[in-house]
Amino acid sequence: MKRISILRHAKAAPYGDYSIDFQRPLAGRGPDDARLMAGFLAGQEQPPDWIISSPALRARQTAEIAAQILGLSQAILWDERVYEATAETLLQVVQAAPERCGHVLLVGHNPGCAELAAGLCAGGSDRIGLHLPTAGLVCLQSDVFYWHQMRRGAAYLRLLVSPKLIKGLLNNSKDPGATKRRKPDPKE
């Protein structure tokens, strides 16, 4: 059994602020969101044991934050193919992961990351639309034994979360009364 978590890079500086897209850093809530998602991953029953990341600065910073929290600073592969990759290219990257790893974290960019997740779950069906916001995380599981066996339709969705969702859950758990409940309408 193999697991793959796909993490889109966290919030980055706007395109207009940098002449080269590859050099855009994390900005605003980006670093905090990256820490939040890495902490969430660290709390899973089988956290990642290997990271594959785009070397673009925003993805690199996201991956470095995740690696620090997950204790994987020596287990990162910077793969240039991940930057501006199609789902097919990302699948090839995943298929080349070290076999000793049971759970790979892929840090990259849209639309490739969202398309890879949808393709692994649905066999590449165009009917599946997956929105993956910045720092959005998709966790998949497959019954394949070797990474090179990973293919379209070979995985199932374990979870799909965003920083906004986790923050909302954390806020509600701190103040259970904060959730507004709608009063029943007697006309219904």
137-142 and 103-108: which strand pairing?
unpaired
2-10+31-167 CATH: 3.40.50.1240
User: pTM for this one?
Assistant: 0.88
Tens digit of pLDDT per residue, the chain (188 long)?
Answer: 999 999 999 999 998 878 899 999 999 999 999 999 999 999 998 999 999 999 999 999 999 999 999 999 889 999 999 999 999 999 999 999 999 999 999 999 999 999 999 999 876 554 556 789 999 999 999 999 999 999 999 999 999 999 999 998 888 766 555 445 445 555 54
Give 23's strand partners.
none
**117 — phi, psi (to 5°)?**
-60, -45
The ranges assigned to domains in the chain are 2-10+31-167
